[in-house]
Amino acid sequence: WRIKHKVMQAMAAREAPRRLSGFVQIDDAYLGGERNGGKPGRGSENKQAFLIAVQTDSALEHPTYAVIEPVRSFDNDSIKDWQARHLAPDAEV
């Protein structure tokens, strides 16, 4: 368990400064376990909102880097904050 967490910390530290550039494809998703009751689908209080971005080569065939991160919601402020941390200014979305 300890070794796993040390490796995860090292990987997170290495990836933290990386910003996706070039061709980037972005999608949103809700992930989480099933619970009875509540609203199904988008906006469910039982699900966590995530943004997923993949940097691809110029032919859009092979992924080079990916970012998956939870966000508060899919409002403009959350997405702009995520964009500032993970996308280079020259990224083509």
Residue 36 has pLDDT above 70, yes or no: no
What is the pLDDT confidence band of residue 30, given thresholds at 50, 70 and 90? confident
Domain that holds residue 26: 19-32+44-93
d(CA 88, CA 18): 9
Does residue 55 lie in a domain region? Answer: yes
Query: pTM of the full predicted structure?
Result: 0.71
Does residue 24 lie in a domain region? Answer: yes
Helices H / strands E in the chain, number of each: 2, 3
| Joined tokens for residue 30 | 């809700």
Does residue 76 lie in a domain region? Answer: yes
